[in-house]
Amino acid sequence: MKRFDGKVAVVTGGARDIGRQTSIRLAREGASVCVNYYDNPEDAQETLRIIEADGGNAIAVKGDMTNHDDINNLVAKCIEAFGDKIHTLINVAGGLVARKTMGEMDWDFWNFVMKLNLGTVFMVTKAVLPYMPEGSSIVNFSSQAARDGGGPGASAYATSKGGVLTFTKGLAKELGPKNIRVNCVSPGMINTTFHDTFTKPEVRKNVAAGTPLRREGNASEVADLAVYLASNDASFITGASIEINGGTYFV
């Protein structure tokens, strides 16, 4: 018996890096997985190929998770493929967008970062929740930046991820009586395209050297944590934010 046998999972941003590894692990554990992707069908097809090669079951659905119509389409496609219950939601989608100081930011940029990182969690959760039976679980993605303010030019991103932490705790209280758990994963420096794009190599090297474990994390390690929190192995954990950063920041 696998941990997610007979269950359906939605993973936003599920086609690459941490999202891909999470999708793969859920499928290996028996879940039927709805893999959301934004703009790279090649990533999505590769994720499906890996899942199917393992004997898993998944579909890929293109969609912008800042768009209500795309969110509703994701839910509709998932229900059409796997039935009218969704047992697990993993909100991975989000991003830094750009590093901008206060002087460089304008209102439109600020609002977009908030919508991308916090608004998507709210909107997708609201769309999926009517289909979640008792015993379901939600795992949101925050960041170490929510705890320490982030690196240079990341104050908007850090603030939005701080909102994810707070939303997770509030929603855990609201949904606990329905036996729906809500938790959060807060990664530090993880070897993904996020840092390939936004963090200079010398900064990554210095951060890794200053980490007690002396390295960056891997997407697979973060995925393992997210899947654990989503599973019944974590049945008495809700409202928690689990830091995964190799010891660079302690709560």
Catalytic residue IDs: 157
Contacts of 3 (CB under 8 A, 6+ apart): 29, 30, 227, 231, 232, 233
The token pair that represents 62 in the structure block: 């293109």
Contacts of 52 (CB under 8 A, 6+ apart): 58
Do the beta carbons of residue 174 and residue 201 sit within 8 Å? no
3-state class percentages of the chain: helix first, strand second, coil last, to nearest 5:
50, 15, 35
CA distance 35 to 60: 5
Do the beta carbons of residue 50 and residue 223 sit within 8 Å? no
Do the beta carbons of residue 66 and residue 116 sit within 8 Å? yes
The token pair that represents 76 in the structure block: 């509709």
CA distance 150 to 161: 10
Q: Among all chains, which residue has been given the structure tokens 């509703």? A: 72
Do the beta carbons of residue 11 and residue 33 sit within 8 Å? yes
